[in-house]
Amino acid sequence: MDFRIEDISEEEIDRRLSVVEPLTDSVRQLVDAVIRSEVSDERLTAAKDRIDEIVADLREQQRPGSFGTPYTKEFIGMPWGNAAVGARNAVAPPLHVRRSPGLAECEMELGAAYEGPGGCVHGGIAALLLDQLVGEAASTDGLPSFTGTLTVKYLRPTLLGALSARAEVTGREGRKTFVHATMSDADGVTVEADAIMICPKDFELPTGDALPPPADRRLDR
């Protein structure tokens, strides 16, 4: 796992986000446009050539492997490549998660890129997003928890569109945290999930006088 420290200020985080968030949003628009475009084959081929040029330009300087999650010394995380919340990842809707102790909530708009059955959210996408949310709820005390078991129950089809999701810690037992989560549309819950989250036994968080206590750590941004 990549837990590198990149000690930048909150102002610098904001500055970087102000550059990459609009870029990532444009890529999301591109994905949606490709799925739904009805222009001619010639225009589709011309679009491919223009996109290939942009890819070659961005590849001039690339970091090796994935983005990872760098942390500042104040323990603010930057999970910008994350598949559910990543500010640089057009695959992520992205979720903008609100956290309070034992609770994680968000609203989202899922469009054509998240389709499974026609007009409906893909079951794997619902599981992905709820997995992120249970991880965030379980980690609100500042200690990391990884998903051990995630059980997902699809109650009825989730139509693409405006949705909300919520995860709440229901119990703790040693290194295990139990979390219940739901995804809902305007008519109520469509998917529910139960997770057993586990803080790995050999996992050591960085320590030191400079670091805030676990409860004050902001594990992501």
Ligand X SMILES: CCCCCCCC/C=C\CCCCCCCC(=O)SCCNC(=O)CCNC(=O)[C@H](O)C(C)(C)COP(=O)(O)OP(=O)(O)OC[C@H]1O[C@@H](n2cnc3c(N)ncnc32)[C@H](O)[C@@H]1OP(=O)(O)O
Residue 140 lies near ligand X (rule: CB under 6 A): no
Task: Give the count of beta carbons closer than 10 Å to the beta carbon of residue 38.
Answer: 6
Per the DSSP assignment, residues forming a β-bridge with 141 are none
Preceding peptide of 213 cis, ω within 30°: no
| Distance separating alpha carbons of residues 219 and 198, to the nearest angstrom | 16
Q: Which residues pair with 192 in a beta bridge?
A: 153, 182
Q: Which of 86, 93, 94, 135 binds ligand X (CB under 6 A)?
A: 135
The answer to whether 181 touches 133, Cβ cutoff 8 Å, is yes
DSSP structure string for 196-221: EEE--TT-----STTSPPGGG-----
CB of 153 to ligand X, least distance (A): 17
For residue 140, the minimal CB distance to ligand X (Å) is: 9
Task: Specify the stretch interacting with ligand X by CB under 6 A; choose among 11-19, 25-33, 130-138, 186-194.
Answer: 130-138
Binding mask 172-201 for ligand X (x = CB under 6 A): --xxx-------------------x-x-xx
Residue 170: name the closest of 128, 198, 137, 215 by CA. 137
Contact between residue 183 and residue 130 where contact means Cβ atoms under 8 Å apart: yes
Provide the mask over 58-97, with x wherever binding to ligand X is found by CB under 6 A and - wherever it is not: -------------x--------------------------
Binding ligand X by CB under 6 A: which of 92, 95, 144, 177?
144
The answer to whether 149 contacts ligand X (rule: CB under 6 A) is: yes
Among 9, 146, 170, 215, binds ligand X (CB under 6 A): 146
- Interface residues with ligand X (CB under 6 A)? 3, 71, 131-132, 135-136, 139, 144, 146-149, 174-176, 196, 198, 200-201, 205-206, 219-220
